[in-house]
Structure 1
């Protein structure tokens, strides 16, 4: 007590220490009954009260809530967490913020990560070899040719028109409807005839019994124009991938952006490689399907990435691999519903859409199958291999905003202690 009497600063800060206000409680046993306004420091009584109240509420609600309370108690009493983080987790769990990982089954998607990576490498390398060796069976949009707008008086079948053109020497013709079954768009390989001679030859080849035909427009597309379209198509695909890289890097994190772009490249190259391997015709409709596939695949990947970021921030006590497995498990139902509904539309176009939408539907079907597992394995495993962790998503306090802890020591106090 000698130090207390001779220390005026201590007496000013603690006026109730000598019992002047009727209290004999020692200052060393006093505790704060309310948490600090700035949220810093630990408050043992408040934390215990929050955990006990949450546990009692869960016991009242039934057996399912008892399991949640056990998982919550495990999270609160984790010795690896600071007391302030444990209190925040307990409060968030009371509001339903933290998922009860112990009660939820996590499907180990990444357990077969290596076999799927080897499968993807095999498909990508095989697609590149097929494109380099066989090349693409480019359509008339890229190689040039002849296009004509045709109108019949009565409805006509596409197969009938193609057969009539083949009988008159016009092979490899592409016939598409233009809104109705009377109006058609006909595309032919490059022809040696002039416009006038070609118009007369087409008029004779397209004549059907009891069905008059009128050719309204004939266009000859040169090879130079086809090459420009081909180069612009490649540039559009590359530009789409670069834009996706920048978007995901700004929206999430660069590690995730790299994984997303590699998965998109995988989907596009596998689809194009299948067309090169089997010699399917590759025209602007197929290119449109590839670009649509890029947009669909990035949408599915963004949903998975958003859940990964959320779980890295909220869930504690599990490894990054388990966090990604948890995120993939939670988005599995959404992925199945989305791919099922899209495949129904694609199959309807494939079998009922006619020749004009056939190869478009084939490209979408191949890309959807490749994009579904690439969003699960490639887009998620590559960031994990790059060291993705919780530190990539939490906001770190800059050094200039950290509070400095100052300790005041009075030299006179030490001198009196020695005496």
Structure 2
């Protein structure tokens, strides 16, 4: 008797289109299921699934994308101002959107560069120019009428080195000299609090008599003074110091003019020198107006001030040159406003840190550094103001534009377009 076995029909080994299972009846969890599984699309990195719903971004990748996006946005901020800005080959842009022009006029002619808003510094250019002219004229009048209260370095006098048995205070020494008829004395420490330098106005006594009277005047209670040497500085030496000081100021200004002219452009160099002259003359004018003593320490402060002010001006000029080359579609006035806005944070941080040091010298440095710190304090205020307005407004008034910073191709290096009209080219065989 034959036994019939129900053998199921043999299925063809045809791959299924479903990427998640073995076949139409396949079980992915069955180890005996030999049906091959195929992906609908190849995986990009060999990890994870290809489904759109399962794509996730890791935190590290998100941070990297954020950083790249911020950097790219900064790099592209200055390349494109508006979508409707047309720029020609020469770099002169034209804004055709009426909405952009209306928004710019509402903001005083200042446009938005990318996501940044620029401060209209040049909007008050004329009032600041009038203020600068007034300060310079007032300073010159004060110097001509009142004159400078020159110290012993310029007028001459007596200089002596004194050593005490015990540490002495400067105020006590000045008071003791004033009680004995030696007025307007300047006392400075020489390394230690026991060694001092005493400077006095010109005296009528000779050196021998001056040693005796000074020895008696410098003696403090329970603290004897010993005079090592006495030097008499004549007026001729003071005049030489005065002339050398004026020559040093003039040479410094000429050197700055040449440096900025070679480094940037002559229009910027002229603005930098005028701003430096403004800082120096205003500081000297304040000393002449109030009768502050003017000695070599004050002169050193003015020379240091010229270097500081030039450094601040160079930072602004470097940004102006960079923006003229890369930003198109805005006027030169707006370019300068953009440059001043970008350097404003750096200027505030620099002036704040330097001012803290100057105030510390003024109130804690003693009499030897007081007038040096006062001169720096006045000059820092004038230098920050002049770097923002005088050094930037003068080149703008002289017609500063993008053409001053873009290198142009000389005519002899331009390629000529030559066309050949050969009659044989048009002949047909």
TM-score, L = length of structure 2:
0.76
Offset from partner CA, 1:2-33 (integer Å, 9 cap, x none): xxxxxxxxxxxxxxxxxxxxxxxxxxxxxxxx
Instruction: Say whether residues 1:81 and 2:88 are aligned partners.
Output: yes
Per the TM alignment, residue 390 of structure 1 is displaced from its structure 2 partner at its CA by 0.7
Tell me the equivalent position of 1:250: 262
Unaligned runs of 5+ in 2: 1-64, 94-111
Question: Structure 1 residue 138 and structure 2 residue 131: aligned?
Answer: no
Cα deviation, 1:223-279, whole Å, max 9, x if unaligned, reads: 000000000000000000000000000000000000000000000000000000000
Larger Rg: 2
Which of 319, 323, 328 is the equivalent residue of 2:335? 323
> Which of these residues, 148, 162, 183, is aligned with residue 195 of structure 2?
183
Q: 2:209 aligns with which of 190, 194, 197?
A: 197
CA-to-aligned-CA distance 1:69-122 (integer Å, 9 cap, x gap): 898665676333249999xxxxxxxxxxxxx92321101111111111111000
Do the aligned partners of 1:68 and 1:103 also contact (CA within 8 Å) in 2? no
Pick aligned residue for 1:356 from 368, 378, 385 = 368
Alpha-carbon shift at residue 359 of structure 1 (Å): 0.5
Distance 1:168 1:65, change over 3 A: closer
Unmatched runs of 5 consecutive residues or more in structure 1: 1-57, 87-99
CA contact (8 A) 1:151 1:213 kept: yes
Verify the 8 A CA contact 1:161 1:175 in the aligned structure 2: yes
How many equivalent pairs are there? 346
Post-superposition offset of 1:181: 1.1
For residue 273 of structure 2, give the secondary structure of its aligned residue in structure 1.
Answer: helix
Rate the CA distance shift 1:203–1:260 in 2: closer, same or farther, 3 A. same
Root mean square deviation, CA, Å = 2.6
Q: Which residue of 2 is the match for residue 372 of structure 1?
A: 384
Whether the 8 Å contact between 1:67 and 1:103 is mirrored in structure 2 is: no
Partners of 1:61 and 1:195 in 2: how far apart? 77
Cα gap change, 1:338/1:221 in structure 2, threshold over 3 Å: closer, same or farther? same
What is the deviation of 1:363? 0.3
Q: For residues 90 and 84 of structure 2, what CA distance do their matches in structure 1 show?
A: 9
- Is the Cα–Cα contact under 8 Å of residues 131 and 273 in structure 1 kept in the other structure? yes
More helix by share: 1
Matches of 1:156 and 1:330, distance apart in 2 = 51
C-alpha spacing 1:211/1:62, structure 2 compared with 1 (3 Å): closer
**Counterpart in the other structure of 1:54:** none
Distance 1:328 1:166, change over 3 A: same
Does residue 219 in structure 1 map to residue 250 in structure 2? no
Distance verdict in 2 for CA 1:60–1:275, change over 3 Å: closer
User: In the alignment, what sits opposite 1:240?
Assistant: 252
Deviation at 1:414, TM superposition (A): 7.0
The CA deviation at 1:411 is: 3.5
